[in-house]
């Protein structure tokens, strides 16, 4: 094996995806994402890259999520001047998410300064984002034979459908008779908004995500039945139904299923408010790139907007958002942030958690110690913007909306890689990676957990950084 892979992020952890592939005499960077979650992890975003950005020949971006693309403007500001290859939809979504991230970092920093609190300066400005976007170049799906082959030196690059968010790709690199595959984030197999992922081809080396390597999702049909029942029952209280959601992917997923359930007569036609300017822009990208979506969605799109329940409203301005406080009667409000770490959802929670007829419907992961987890665990009162708010609302948790492949689907995705391939696991917590590695090795493949390659001491394959 001549190709060499070094992982500077998403090794022994989920976030911060950043890997260096040295192949065919080229240095190719795969993803450049933010570390997210604990303060310890987020501190790493401020650190210098453990490689010289100017020494990289080319960069390839698997998809637009910030844990994969969120440090790209920093990389460019610190000297990377080469091309950044990705799907057109990934370019558009990266633009929206990175500009939003720059704005939030700046607002957080200014707020901390006003209060005299210590805070890290923003990683980059919106000008840095716009400058980085000038280096983005398009990348098509499919074997290079059907498109003009993308070559970096003598390394041939092709992309295939990953089915995780629009524009998400698994990347295939070929040089000197070797094939290396980078999975990116792999989506799941179900009748839904995104297409099914294309399985991994035969390969010499596979760098593979393992987020859900130790567990399966509940069947999606069960999730849908519970979601419909929850909305139907909540509508009878006459109160607000709050759904915290990420602006990208989960919001469009929820809108698609609300529209479908209404049409099937399984839920009443309620007013639905999407209280997120970012979600409005993201839906436009979905409409422009219908080819990135599933056949089911494309079939609906032939005669109507697939993301439009009968009574849908978008709130763009702050005034439109505030006006939702005065609404009477049952209504669904979808707002970010999905993990309740900030954003407009906090205002809606502050105003409505104390009412008995409010329903909070949690459709995404809530981290330990966060507001969402406190509510799910039955807190009697919670602090929001400095005030203690009593919790009288009904809290519903609906699992199964994940955009990631589960254990069975990861094993299916990698089954064609071949018994000669070396599979390196990244983008997972240790228990998930250990469990998946054991399953892969048990069926004759050669899997191991990719160690972090940033020069830190590694003991027995485990990082000693405490992550």
Binding region for Zn ion (CB under 5 A) out of 60-68, 93-101, 173-181, 283-291? 60-68
Nearer to Zn ion, 136 or 246 (CB): 246
- Secondary structure of the chain as H, E, C letters: CCCEEEEEECCCCCCCCEEEEEECCEEEEECCCCCCCCHHHHHHHHCCCCCCHHHCCEEECCCCCHHHHCCHHHHHHCCCCCCEEECHHHHHHHHHHHHHHHHHHHHHHHHHHHCCCCCCCCCCCHHHHHHHHCCEEECCEECHHHCCCEEECCEEEEEEECCCCCCCEEEEEEECCEEEEECCCCCCCCCCCCCCCCCCCCCCEEEEECCCCCCCCCCHHHHHHHHHHHHHHHHCCCCEEEEECCCCCHHHHHHHHHHHHHHCCCCCCCCEEECCHHHHHHHHHHHHCHHHCCHHHHHHHCCCCCCCCCCEEECCCHHHHHHHHHCCCCEEEEECCCCCCCCCHHHHHHHHCCCCCCEEEECCCCCCCCHHHHHHCCCCEEEECCEEEECCCEEEECCCCCCCCCHHHHHHHCCCCCCCCEEEEECCCHHHHHHHHHHHHHCCCEEEECCECCCCCEECCEECCCC
Binding residues for Zn ion restricted to 363-422, rule: CB under 5 A: none
Q: How far is the CB of 206 from Zn ion (least distance, A)?
A: 18
Q: How far is the CB of 111 from Zn ion (least distance, A)?
A: 28
Nearer to Zn ion, 309 or 400 (CB): 400
Binding region for Zn ion (CB under 5 A) out of 63-71, 122-130, 228-236, 340-348? 63-71
Q: How far is the CB of 254 from Zn ion (least distance, A)?
A: 17
Nearer to Zn ion, 88 or 185 (CB): 185
Gap between the Cα atoms of 47 and 420, Å rounded? 37
Q: How far is the CB of 33 from Zn ion (least distance, A)?
A: 9
87 lies in the site for Zn ion, by CB under 5 A: no
Q: How far is the CB of 34 from Zn ion (least distance, A)?
A: 12
Residue closest to Zn ion (Cβ): 65
Binding region for Zn ion (CB under 5 A) out of 57-65, 105-113, 344-352, 433-441? 57-65
Q: How far is the CB of 292 from Zn ion (least distance, A)?
A: 14
Binding region for Zn ion (CB under 5 A) out of 64-72, 98-106, 331-339, 434-442? 64-72
Nearer to Zn ion, 185 or 253 (CB): 185
Nearer to Zn ion, 30 or 300 (CB): 30
Q: How far is the CB of 324 from Zn ion (least distance, A)?
A: 29
The CA distances from residue 85 to 71, 134, 142, 147, 159, in Å, are: 15, 11, 15, 15, 10
Nearer to Zn ion, 32 or 231 (CB): 32
Q: How far is the CB of 164 from Zn ion (least distance, A)?
A: 5
Nearer to Zn ion, 67 or 128 (CB): 67
Nearer to Zn ion, 285 or 315 (CB): 285
Binding letters toward Zn ion, positions 175-194, x by CB under 5 A: ----------x---------
Gap between the Cα atoms of 382 and 386, Å rounded? 10
Q: How far is the CB of 166 from Zn ion (least distance, A)?
A: 11
Nearer to Zn ion, 69 or 330 (CB): 69
Nearer to Zn ion, 267 or 432 (CB): 432
65 lies in the site for Zn ion, by CB under 5 A: yes
Q: How far is the CB of 42 from Zn ion (least distance, A)?
A: 18
31 lies in the site for Zn ion, by CB under 5 A: no
| Cis peptide leading into residue 464 (ω within 30°) | no
Q: How far is the CB of 416 from Zn ion (least distance, A)?
A: 23
Nearer to Zn ion, 62 or 421 (CB): 62
Give me the residues that bind Zn ion (CB under 5 A), please: 65, 185
């Amino acid at each position: 094996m001549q190709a060499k892979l070094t992982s500077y992020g998403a090794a022994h952890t989920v976030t911060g995806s950043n890997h260096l592939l040295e192949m065919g005499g080229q240095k190719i960077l795969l993803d450049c994402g933010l570390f997210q979650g604990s303060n310890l992890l987020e501190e790493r975003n401020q650190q210098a890259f453990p490689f010289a950005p100017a020494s990289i020949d080319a960069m390839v971006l698997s998809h637009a999520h910030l844990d994969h693309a969120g440090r790209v403007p920093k990389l460019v500001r610190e000297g990377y001047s080469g091309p950044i290859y990705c799907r057109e939809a990934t370019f558009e979504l990266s633009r929206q998410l990175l500009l939003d991230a720059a704005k939030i970092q700046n607002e957080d920093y200014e707020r901390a300064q006003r209060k005299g609190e210590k805070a890290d300066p923003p990683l980059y400005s919106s000008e840095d984002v716009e400058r980085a976007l000038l280096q983005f170049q398009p990348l098509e799906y499919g074997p290079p034979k059907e498109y003009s082959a993308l070559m970096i030196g003598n390394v041939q690059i092709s992309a295939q459908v990953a089915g995780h968010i629009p524009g998400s790709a698994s990347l295939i690199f070929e040089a000197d008779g070797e094939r290396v595959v980078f999975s990116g984030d792999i989506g799941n197999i179900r009748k839904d908004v995104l297409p099914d992922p294309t399985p991994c081809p035969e390969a010499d080396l596979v760098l593979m995500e393992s987020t859900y390597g130790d567990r399966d999702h509940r069947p999606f049909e069960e999730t849908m039945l519970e979601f419909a029942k929850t909305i139907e029952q909540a509508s009878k209280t006459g109160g607000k139904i709050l759904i915290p959601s990420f602006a990208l992917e989960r919001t469009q997923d929820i809108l698609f299923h609300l529209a479908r359930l209404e049409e099937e007569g399984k839920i009443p036609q309620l007013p639905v408010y999407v209280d997120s300017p970012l979600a409005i822009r993201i839906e436009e990208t979905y409409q422009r790139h219908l080819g990135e979506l599933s056949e089911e969605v494309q079939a609906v799109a032939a005669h109507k907007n697939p993301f439009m329940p009968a009574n849908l409203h978008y709130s763009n301005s702050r005034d439109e958002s505030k006006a939702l406080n005065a609404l009477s009667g049952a209504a669904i409000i979808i707002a970010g942030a999905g993990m309740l770490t900030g954003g407009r959802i906090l205002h809606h929670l502050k105003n409505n958690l104390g009412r008995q007829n409010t329903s909070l419907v949690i459709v995404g992961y809530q981290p330990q110690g966060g507001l969402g987890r406190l509510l799910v665990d039955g807190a009697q009162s919670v602090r929001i913007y400095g005030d203690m708010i009593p919790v009288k609302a009904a809290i519903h948790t609906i699992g199964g909306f994940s955009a990631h492949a589960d254990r069975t689907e990861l094993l299916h995705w990698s089954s064609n890689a071949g018994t000669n391939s070396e599979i390196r696991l990244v983008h997972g917590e240790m228990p998930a990676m250990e469990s998946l590695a054991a399953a892969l090795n048990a069926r004759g493949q050669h899997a191991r957990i990719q160690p972090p390659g940033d020069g830190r001491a590694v003991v027995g394959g485990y990082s000693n950084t405490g992550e």
